[in-house]
């Protein structure tokens, strides 16, 4: 049985009815709960295993039973580890219904149904007693309730409640302690994701920044990032890494609201822009098992390898990769100058779920109050970080301005079809007579209105709130787009520009004039693990979990997803190939349906696990802006990707080793009238072509 669901088509901008599985929402929730990359993290698994074994051994050594409570068991992996290590009793709880049912089957499949009791509840709802979920309190707690921010999933309340209601005194907790580390840095590249800078051209400021944006402290949401992939030459550490919060998870004295002030001597002079954050766990009571989430240049294992003369680039290939626990960037509310050798006050704050920081360029006697930063200017709510970075991309802006300069005259009346286009406003400063800007999103429109007011452009800028109110054909002579739309996820969904522009005659000048959909066959070093099946994990069969996730993913997920590929190393196995070039001067509604099949030759042996996809926008016959690689792609070499866009990624379910005798078949289907785009890729040998 099927249901019909209203969906926005980002290509056409129309709302349509789509037929979905009657349990579509359920399958979507299950697919999103996938944490296979975490279970592929062998270091995490092995260190949990070692700490669980040590905890059970310690309890038995002093003549006590080892009664284990596993909170948020997921697949039941940690509970099965405890069973294998000889725990006397094990109670696991899991609140998410599909996962609880899956865990029961996995536990049975692995032969532990008589040793592990699974409770389908949140730990905060568990009861103790003869007829309760636990007959008596546990004396070993095992749990993994951490996120990139450590405490963002409610870890503090989970541990505190367990100590108060579910654990005996002197219980052993795995992990034992957690430490949050911070490092203050100067980095214009980091700032580009948070603060919009003026648009400069030929030593002239084309667009000033409103004060409300310059003074805004930024988004409240944490900026999670793979810092190991952030180029070392794009930031300068101003302070040595500091442990700013330590949480004794084995104690009930876990506070929801804390502040801590560190007085630290600066190691470099510069302007403090942001704070890099990561955390580590001491897994056992003897402080012998350390699990670190540090970026490569501060990872404890890397320091050992560096002392042996191994380069950071080589070390990055052996340090454990994690997508479930990344590092984070926190933007300081005020950029602060520091001088090498001088002492500064680094202040950390946290509530039950979040961290935030400030830096004061002097010693202080009293820690000042500081509210958690939230966006007050709307920019950080309206636009994602990659879009803010895109707005600050000088080379990208330069290309668009050069293309505009060729088109704009004193008689130009421009229609800008892009959300939040500062370059559209810049067209006025380049001499345009007037500009219409389509802004259907309320927050984006509010941002543009601030720029119009600050730059005194109100007499020449007319903001349009809906597609129905677009100007007539006789009122404009240039259609401009970057293109970027808030509703677009993968790069080709920005072809919405084409659909909007097609409301006008092809005789009206356009910029860009064409778009090329591109691809390259790749070997991802790690990214494929977010979808890779687990099979056997630390000796336990988790294939039931694989089937659950795959079944739901097949029913709810697109085969192509968006990823910021600069964070995920990939080696090219082919040359870039053209899938389809679109002539944006044509009317999309008169464009014939496209069905293309081609074969892409593999030019480098390797493990073929994905296809990367992007769009090149041709502003004119000479200027192209790409949302893909930033340097020439060479088979066998790592690809350098644009940091300010997300690319499309197709991950192969059946990963294969390929050679120069292999090909990848590519099929592409596009129905312009309905805005439907489909891809299909298969790995073949040349003999199967």
Edge-first strand listing for the sheet containing 662-671: 594-601, 662-671, 676-685
Facing residues of 383 across strands?
none
pLDDT band of residue 249 (cuts 50, 70, 90) is: very high
Task: Decide if 538 is inside a domain.
Answer: no
Nearest to 201 by CA among 393, 401, 423, 432: 401
Lowest mean pLDDT, pick from 155-159, 311-315, 631-635:
311-315
Token code pair at residue 372: 């958690």
What's the pLDDT score for residue 65? 97
- Final residue of a domain: which of 487, 503, 535? 487
Average pLDDT, the chain: 92
pLDDT band of residue 553 (cuts 50, 70, 90) is: confident
pLDDT band of residue 683 (cuts 50, 70, 90) is: very high
Q: Within this chain, do residues 197 and 303 fall inside the same structural domain, yes or no?
A: yes
Rounded mean pLDDT of 75-97? 96
pLDDT band of residue 11 (cuts 50, 70, 90) is: confident
Rounded mean pLDDT of 21-28? 57
Phi-psi region of 636 (alpha: psi -120 to 50; beta: other; left: phi over 0): left
Task: Decide if 643 is inside a domain.
Answer: yes
* SS3 state of residue 382: helix
Task: Decide if 157 is inside a domain.
Answer: yes
- Could you read off the pLDDT of 664-673 as tens digits, one per residue? 999 999 999 8
What's the pLDDT score for residue 37? 76
Taking the C-alpha atoms of residue 348 and residue 328, their distance in angstroms, rounded to an integer, is 14
Q: Within this chain, do residues 400 and 304 fall inside the same structural domain, yes or no?
A: no
Helix 543-556 and helix 24-32: axis angle, to 10°?
130
Q: Within this chain, do residues 236 and 315 fall inside the same structural domain, yes or no?
A: yes
Task: Decide if 494 is inside a domain.
Answer: no
Nearest to 98 by CA among 154, 48, 25: 25
First CA to last CA across the chain, in angstroms?
38
Helix (H) or strand (E) holding 571: strand 570-572
- Could you read off the pLDDT of 599-622 as tens digits, one per residue? 999 999 999 999 999 999 999 999
Domain tally, the chain: 4
Does pLDDT of 21 surpass 90? no
CATH number for position 368? 2.70.160.11
Q: Within this chain, do residues 169 and 185 fall inside the same structural domain, yes or no?
A: no
Q: Within this chain, do residues 330 and 310 fall inside the same structural domain, yes or no?
A: yes
Q: Within this chain, do residues 207 and 258 fall inside the same structural domain, yes or no?
A: yes
Nearest to 518 by CA among 641, 658, 689: 641
- Could you read off the pLDDT of 313-339 as tens digits, one per residue? 888 888 889 998 999 999 998 899 999
Rounded mean pLDDT of 546-550? 85
Q: How many residues appear in the chain?
A: 689
Nearest to 70 by CA among 62, 78, 59, 81: 78
Residue 640 DSSP one-character state? P
Percent of the chain beyond pLDDT 70?
95
Q: Known catalytic residue: 153?
A: yes
Strands 478-480 and 514-524, by their bridges, are unpaired
Facing residues of 509 across strands?
478
Rounded mean pLDDT of 252-277? 96
pTM across the whole model: 0.93
**Options 144, 186, 439, 482, the catalytic residue:** 144
Rounded mean pLDDT of 81-96? 97
- Could you read off the pLDDT of 231-247 as tens digits, one per residue? 999 999 999 999 999 99
**Options 29, 109, 153, 561, the catalytic residue:** 153
- Going 297 to 299 to 301 to 304, the CA torsion angle's sign is positive
- Could you read off the pLDDT of 39-75 as tens digits, one per residue? 889 999 999 999 999 999 999 999 999 999 999 999 9
Lowest mean pLDDT, pick from 21-35, 280-294, 375-389, 602-616:
21-35
Rounded mean pLDDT of 369-374? 89
Cα torsion through 201, 202, 203, 208, rounded to 10: -20
Helix (H) or strand (E) holding 78: helix 77-84
Q: Within this chain, do residues 304 and 403 fall inside the same structural domain, yes or no?
A: no
Nearest to 296 by CA among 279, 316, 271: 316
Does pLDDT of 384 surpass 50? yes
What's the pLDDT score for residue 55? 98
- Could you read off the pLDDT of 471-510 as tens digits, one per residue? 999 999 999 999 999 999 999 999 999 999 999 999 999 9
Taking the C-alpha atoms of residue 201 and residue 18, their distance in angstroms, rounded to an integer, is 46
Residue for token pair 């199967």: 688
Q: Within this chain, do residues 658 and 592 fall inside the same structural domain, yes or no?
A: yes
Task: Decide if 252 is inside a domain.
Answer: yes
Rounded mean pLDDT of 398-411? 96
- Could you read off the pLDDT of 347-367 as tens digits, one per residue? 999 999 999 999 998 888 889
Q: Within this chain, do residues 522 and 648 fall inside the same structural domain, yes or no?
A: yes
Query: Phi/psi of residue 469, each to 5°?
Result: -105, 20
- Final residue of a domain: which of 128, 158, 174? 174
Nearest to 610 by CA among 656, 645, 578: 656
The answer to whether 39 and 45 have CB atoms below 8 angstroms apart is yes
Task: Decide if 218 is inside a domain.
Answer: yes
- Final residue of a domain: which of 377, 408, 425? 377
Q: Within this chain, do residues 118 and 238 fall inside the same structural domain, yes or no?
A: no
Q: Apex CA 478: angle with CA 475 and CA 480, to 5°?
A: 125
What's the pLDDT score for residue 70? 98
The answer to whether 450 and 522 have CB atoms below 8 angstroms apart is no
Task: Decide if 547 is inside a domain.
Answer: no
* SS3 state of residue 20: strand
The answer to whether 551 and 33 have CB atoms below 8 angstroms apart is no
What's the pLDDT score for residue 202? 87
What's the pLDDT score for residue 3? 54
Question: 189-214 b/e with 16+ CB inside 10 Å = b?
Answer: ebbbbbbbbebebeeeebbebbeebe
What's the pLDDT score for residue 1? 52
Helix (H) or strand (E) holding 480: strand 478-480
Lowest mean pLDDT, pick from 167-176, 213-222, 486-495:
213-222
Q: Within this chain, do residues 162 and 281 fall inside the same structural domain, yes or no?
A: no
Token code pair at residue 665: 């078949």
Taking the C-alpha atoms of residue 394 and residue 385, their distance in angstroms, rounded to an integer, is 16
Task: Decide if 261 is inside a domain.
Answer: yes
* SS3 state of residue 170: strand
pLDDT band of residue 16 (cuts 50, 70, 90) is: low
Q: Known catalytic residue: 186?
A: no
Q: Within this chain, do residues 581 and 655 fall inside the same structural domain, yes or no?
A: yes
Does pLDDT of 286 surpass 70? yes
pLDDT band of residue 146 (cuts 50, 70, 90) is: very high
Does pLDDT of 34 surpass 60? no
What's the pLDDT score for residue 566? 97
Taking the C-alpha atoms of residue 423 and residue 405, their distance in angstroms, rounded to an integer, is 12
Does pLDDT of 377 surpass 50? yes
What's the pLDDT score for residue 307? 81
What's the pLDDT score for residue 689? 45
Rounded mean pLDDT of 444-460? 96
Neighbours of 363 (CB within 10 A): 11
What's the pLDDT score for residue 306? 82
Q: How far is CA 214 from the centre of its chain?
A: 25
Strands 2-9 and 14-21, by their bridges, are antiparallel
Residue 62 DSSP one-character state? T
Query: Following DSSP, what letter does each residue of 195-228 receive, concatenated?
Result: SPPPEEETTEEEEPPPHHHHT----SS-EEE-GG
Q: Which domain holds residue 112?
A: 42-174
C-alpha dist (Å) from residue 372 to 188, 211, 358, 381: 23, 20, 10, 15
Nearest to 668 by CA among 638, 645, 648: 648
CATH number for position 438? 3.40.50.150
């Amino acid at each position: 049985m099927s249901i019909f669901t209203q969906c926005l088509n980002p290509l056409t901008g129309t709302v349509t009815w789509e037929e979905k599985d009657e349990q579509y929402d359920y399958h979507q929730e299950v697919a999103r709960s996938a944490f296979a990359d975490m279970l592929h993290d062998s270091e995490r698994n092995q260190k949990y295993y070692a700490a669980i074994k040590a905890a059970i051994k310690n309890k038995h050594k002093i003549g006590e039973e080892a009664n284990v409570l596993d909170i948020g068991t997921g697949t039941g992996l940690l509970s099965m580890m405890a069973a294998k290590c000889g725990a006397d009793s094990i109670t696991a709880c899991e609140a998410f219904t599909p996962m609880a049912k899956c865990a029961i089957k996995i536990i049975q499949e692995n032969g532990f149904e008589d040793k592990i009791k699974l409770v389908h509840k949140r730990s905060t709802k568990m009861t103790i007693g003869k007829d309760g979920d636990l007959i008596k309190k546990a004396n070993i707690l095992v749990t993994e309730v951490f996120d990139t921010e450590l405490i963002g999933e409610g870890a503090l309340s989970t541990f505190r409640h367990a100590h108060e209601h579910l654990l005996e005194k002197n219980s052993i907790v795995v992990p034992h302690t957690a430490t949050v580390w911070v490092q203050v840095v100067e980095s214009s590249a980091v700032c580009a994701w948070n603060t919009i800078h003026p648009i400069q051209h030929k030593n002239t400021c084309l667009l000033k920044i409103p004060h409300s944006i310059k003074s805004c402290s930024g988004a409240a949401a944490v900026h999670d990032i793979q810092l190991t992939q952030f180029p070392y030459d794009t930031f300068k550490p101003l302070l040595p890494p500091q442990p700013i919060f330590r949480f004794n998870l084995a104690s009930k004295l876990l506070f929801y609201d804390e502040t801590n002030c560190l007085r630290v001597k600066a190691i470099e002079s510069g302007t403090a822009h942001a704070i890099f954050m990561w955390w580590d766990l001491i897994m056992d009571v003897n402080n012998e098992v350390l699990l670190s989430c540090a970026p490569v240049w501060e990872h404890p294992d890397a320091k050992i390898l560096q002392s042996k003369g191994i380069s950071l680039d080589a070390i990055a290939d052996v340090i454990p990769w994690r997508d479930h626990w990344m590092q984070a960037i926190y933007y300081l509310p005020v950029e602060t100058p520091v001088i090498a050798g001088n002492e500064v006050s680094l202040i950390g704050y946290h509530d039950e779920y979040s961290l935030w920081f400030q830096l004061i360029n002097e010693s202080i006697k009293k820690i000042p109050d500081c509210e958690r930063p939230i966006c007050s200017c709307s920019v950080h709510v309206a636009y994602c970080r990659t879009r803010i970075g895109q707005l600050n991309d000088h080379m990208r802006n330069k290309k668009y301005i050069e293309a505009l300069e060729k088109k704009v005259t004193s008689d130009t009346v421009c229609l800008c079809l892009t959300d939040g286009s500062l370059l559209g406003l810049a067209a006025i400063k380049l001499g345009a007579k007037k500009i219409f800007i389509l802004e259907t999103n309320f927050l984006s429109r509010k941002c543009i209105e601030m720029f119009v007011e600050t730059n005194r452009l109100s007499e020449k800028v007319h903001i349009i709130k809906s597609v129905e109110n677009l100007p007539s054909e006789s009122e404009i002579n240039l259609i401009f787009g970057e293109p970027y739309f808030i509703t677009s996820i993968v790069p080709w969904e920005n072809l919405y520009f084409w659909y909007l522009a097609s409301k006008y005659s092809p005789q009206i000048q356009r910029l860009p004039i064409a778009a090329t959909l591109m691809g390259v066959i790749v070997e991802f070093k790690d990214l494929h693990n977010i979808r890779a099946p687990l099979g056997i994990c630390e000796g336990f069969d988790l294939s039931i979990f694989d089937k659950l996730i795959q079944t739901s993913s097949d029913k709810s997920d697109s085969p192509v997803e968006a990823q910021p590929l600069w964070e995920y190393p990939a080696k090219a196995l082919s040359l870039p190939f053209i899938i389809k070039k679109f002539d944006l001067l044509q009317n999309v509604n008169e464009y014939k349906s496209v069905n293309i099949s081609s074969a892409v030759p593999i030019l480098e042996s390797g493990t073929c696990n994905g296809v990367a996809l992007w769009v090149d926008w041709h502003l004119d016959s000479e200027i192209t802006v790409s949302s893909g690689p930033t340097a020439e792609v060479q088979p066998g070499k790592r690809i350098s990707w644009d940091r300010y866009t997300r690319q499309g990624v197709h991950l192969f379910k059946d990963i294969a080793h390929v050679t120069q005798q292999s090909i990848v078949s590519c099929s592409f289907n596009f129905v312009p009238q309905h805005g439907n785009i489909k891809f299909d890729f298969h790995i073949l040998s040349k003999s199967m072509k």
